[in-house]
Chain A
Amino acid sequence: MSENAGLKAKLGLDVFKPLGKPHIRIRPGMEKDSRLKAAVTGCPAGLYTENEKGEVTLAIDGCLECGTCRIACGTDVLDWNYPQGGEGVQFRFG
């Protein structure tokens, strides 16, 4: 199993309640900001990927709401909020 498939399978074990709209967005024009590299390696759910053009994209499904990307990249780069009440990951063990 590739690293990414393994991570997806692991995230599949968690309980997620559907998200209304993405609660974290890369601010328009910041996709190539070097601070995003730390999110690519640091996001525990592997949600940030860099494409061949050097732009980073974010796929929000599977977000563990830890806040690593907010600390790593800062609020100039990310528009960061928690999901609405009752949405997103719901830990059964924690």
Chain B
Amino acid sequence: MERFEVIIIGAGLAGLAAAYTLAGEGIEVVVLERGEFPGAKNVSGGRLYLNPVRPLFPSLWEDAPFERKIVHEGITLLAKEGSVALEYSGEELRRPPGHSFSVLRSRFDRWLAERAEERGAAILPNTLVERPLVEQGRVIGVRAGGEDLAADVVISCDGALSLTAEKAGLRTPGFPRDYAVGVKEVIALDPGKIADRFHVSEGEGSARLYLGEVTKGMFGGGFLYTNRDSISIGLVIRIEDIGGEAARSVPALLDEFKERPEICSLVRGGTTAEYSAHLIPEAGLRGMGKLYGDGIIIAGDAAGLALNLGLTVRGMEYALASGYYAAQAFLRAKGKRDFSAPSLEVYRSLLDDSFVLKDFRNFAGTPDVLDNPRYFEHYPELAAAVFRDLYKVPAGSKDTLFSTVRRHVDLKEIWSILKDLKKASAI
């Protein structure tokens, strides 16, 4: 049986971060990737926030294939007819080295894989891991492409479904309540048009979030990111909410979103280049699976390390960081020549002390607060109705502004808003 020190399953951000870190320490590491090349199966919205992960990979970022540096942050409340938009622009978003960047994962992950290979990591594409090899409750390797491969530790970074962890008995299949599906189109568009439509200069870009009618009131939202010469546009919906009373299909929702006047003017003249879909773990701390076992560490989406924070949805930094800490945990375990679960527990404490699980603890209450239909239907409609009437010049005389607002925001409404605010204090 061929033997490695570490086998990593999945060339996504977690797996590649682990491979890059381990190879840099001279560890014999192989990454098994079922796609034709690293990145071929990977999808994100997507935007990467660099601040939390910059120090973990100090020399990495200089020539990273980022699409655009995000300098405008927009949120739009979409009502059935009409919308209210807010945009934040800040000099600190613009200042080097930059706060967040749009990425296209197929390009980005291929680049990261090359950096790991330069350091000596082996990456095997076209290789599906069928199952982990388990002996007396201990993971000793994997079966892949009809062959058995052995390792001191398997780092499982096989994505949100986490089939390896499931087959190793470390977790059970997920629930519709804890996952969302994201669908996305990449629409090729001339960079000059992107600059004009989003008010950005070369290399700079815009990120937008859409709430309300985009999901017909279901838990989720729409997103838009500008890339170098394309726009990523899509929506995210909780799986539990799909196929309810409204029963609008997910592809139809994306089409309707794109037809909104707020959107179609932004993508006009562009051509769709790719259509993709991906699963997102959204349960936060409650949905986090087991992080390690005997001979196995789980990182990235596979460990449930993604968070919906309302204004920001995060996963890629957690994937990169958990891959890094998985590598650190292996190095410590190697020092003791002990790859049992108690020895690998250091992975959990490294994550505990890092921004990863600090964020998860800080935002443990967020999924329950966001699980409030008022955010996805009532507030967008209310905001649009208030502004509609504030701007309206009727045939006769116009009401005072205060009474116009009060017509929509009566005592009962104020009471409901206060109740939502009280709950939102857990955010």
Contact = CB atoms under 8 A, between A and B. Distances in A.
Interface of A: 3, 6-7, 10-11, 13-14, 17, 37-38, 40-46, 64-68, 70-72, 74-75, 82-86, 89-94
A44 B276 CA distance: 8
Given A68-B277, A72-B239, A91 B106 contact: yes
B177 to A, nearest CB: 9
Given A68-B181, A91-B106, A94-B109, A44 B273 contact: no
Top 7 nearest A-B pairs (CB, nearest first) are A94-B106, A86-B126, A44-B277, A94-B105, A42-B242, A66-B277, A38-B243
Nearest to B251: A7
Given A3-B251, A44-B181, A13 B272 contact: yes
Chain A contact residues: helix, strand, loop or mixed = loop
A22 B174 CA distance: 22
A44 B182 CA distance: 9
B132 to A, nearest CB: 15
B145 interface: yes
Contacts of B310: none
Contacts of B247: 41
B276 A68 contact: no
Contact of B186 (A43, A65, A83, A93): A93
Nearest to B35: A90
A17 B126 CA distance: 11
A85 B251 CA distance: 27
B264 to A, nearest CB: 15
Interface stretch (B39-47, B368-376, B384-392): B39-47
Contacts of A64: 275-278
B288 to A, nearest CB: 16
A85 B145 contact: yes
Contact of A86 (B36, B173, B179, B248): B36
A93 B183 contact: no
Contacts of B128: 82-85
B276 A91 contact: yes
Contacts of B87: none
Interface in B156-188: 159-161, 163, 173-176, 179, 181, 183, 185-186
A18 B276 CA distance: 17
Given A64-B276, A71-B175, A82-B128, A89 B186 contact: no
Nearest to A68: B181
A71 B41 contact: no
Interface string B119-161: 0000001111000000000000000110000000000000111
Interface string B28-62: 00000011110111111000000000000000000
Contacts of B39: 91, 94
Contact of A14 (B125, B161, B248, B275): B275
Contacts of B251: 3, 7, 10, 44-46
Nearest to B130: A81
Given A10-B185, A67-B160, A75-B173, A44 B42 contact: no
A16 to B, nearest CB: 11
Tell which of A41, A70, A74 has the most Cβ of chain B within 10 Å.
A41
Given A44-B181, A71-B279, A89 B41 contact: yes
A66 B35 contact: no
B230 interface: yes
B92 interface: no
Contacts of A11: 275
Given A82-B128, A85-B145, A91-B42, A66 B279 contact: yes
